[in-house]
Amino acid sequence: MQRRMYLVYLLVAALLVLAPPSAAAHEKWFVDDHEAYPVRYELIWSLPVLIGVLVSAALIGALVVLRRLAGGDNLFPRVWFLRRFDPAAPVVIAIQAAIAIIYTAVNLRLLAVNMELPGNALGYLLAAAQLAVAFSLISGLWARAGAALLLLLVLAAGVLFGPLAMLEQSIFAGIGLYIALMGRGMVDPDRFEPAPALDRYRPLAPTLLRVLAGLSVAVLAFSEKLLNPDLGVAFLREYPHFNVARTLGLAWFTDERFVLAAGVVELAIGAALIAGVLPRLVIFAMFVPFNLTIPFLPATELLGHLPIFAVMYVLTFHNPALRVDAPEGPTVEDTVAEAEGAAPAKRAGQAAS
């Protein structure tokens, strides 16, 4: 058994080392005239898309093999201290998503900086709705209602900017469903999180979050890279240092090839998240490409990626089984109840002294 685990660790290291580097920047956020580069749906039958599908299938197959070598444990690698962060998961994802939503709202954008709202009553109404969602998620007041409003905003993005834009923002649908089912946490659920009938569906929350986040990553791989290489090339004209291979002297690795390679990697990551095989391992592999671009781009890159970082936090530290078949740990409700029970005892002790 020990020899098998050594083999698993070696295979994991090989996958991480051999995986091509990918810049996960959103090209639409940094190309001013991004609307001049429409998606070319005819490229769906192109060789890069075929390679992306094959690489995605190969990655999922490799993860299945790794899971079998790990004894069938889909939560591999298990790190004992990860469960200590479990109670904070709903709070972390709510606050980080809220910060990103506030940023888009005050700039009169809808969920993403590339979706500009009109400067009229409708635009200001949608911006105010985003601020209401953010307030609900940060404060914990009626967070489930705020999550429902967030789902409506994703639908509004589809109405205003088209179905592709809505699919790109499906990560917000996942966050909305996660908070609607889980609750915001760290508040009195009876007063501020009604709809207890949803509690029975809590085990579905991590799965919905993972699948919709993976869908968002996969769709963006198509809309900003595989089916829109010209947009990626325009981004590299503004930030040429991101093509690391060409910087190292590999002249044959043109900007277009770099964009397509990045699209293949992003598609594979999204497909792996959707498949749900060894999700923690997939998240570990995402840390480099999704953090690589932050020091070299404006603050929009960090603020816009806060939702995906929150999803990565939840899927890393939160047990996907959601306390159904996993050892019981302290829940958010237990933590609140313990704090509320300790406060009167502390005051009584102070009065007695």
Contact 206, 338 (CB under 8 A): no
Hey, CA dihedral for 280, 281, 286, 287, is it positive or negative? Answer: positive
Q: Is the preceding omega at residue 118 within 30 degrees of 0, hence cis?
A: no
Local confidence band at 183 (pLDDT 50, 70, 90 cut-offs): confident
Question: At 34, which amino acid appears?
Answer: H
Percent of the chain's residues with pLDDT above 70: 77
pLDDT higher than 60, residue 234: yes
Range from 23-32, 50-59, 81-90, 272-281 carrying the lowest mean pLDDT: 81-90
Q: Tell me the pLDDT tens digit for each residue of 188-216.
A: 555 556 566 677 788 888 999 999 999 99
d(CA 329, CA 344): 25
Higher pLDDT, 335 or 195: 195
pLDDT reported for residue 52: 93
Residue 323 has pLDDT above 50, yes or no: no
Asked if the model's pLDDT at residue 178 lies above 80, the reply is yes
For residue 221, pLDDT over 90 is answered with: yes
| Whole-number Å distance between alpha carbons of 85 and 314 | 9
Q: What pLDDT is recorded for position 161?
A: 94
pTM score: 0.81
pLDDT at 187: 61
Encoded amino acid at 302, one letter:
L
Which residues have CB under 8 Å from 116's CB, separation 6+? 108, 109
Please, are residues 47 and 256 in contact by the beta-carbon 8 Å criterion? Answer: no
Q: Which phi and psi (to 5°) does residue 252 adopt?
A: -70, -20
Confidence of residue 286 (pLDDT cuts 50, 70, 90): confident
- List phi, psi (to 5°) of 328: -70, 135
Cβ 170 vs Cβ 216: under 8 Å:
yes
Q: Is the CB of residue 93 less than 8 Å from the CB of residue 312?
A: no
pLDDT at 136 (0 to 100): 92
Residue 198, pLDDT score: 73
Give the integer Cα–Cα distance in Å for 110 and 154.
9
What is the mean predicted confidence (pLDDT) over 116-120? 93
Nearest Cα to Cα of residue 303 among 78, 29, 36: 29
Question: What does the mean pLDDT of the chain come to?
Answer: 80
pLDDT category of residue 119 using cuts at 50, 70 and 90: very high
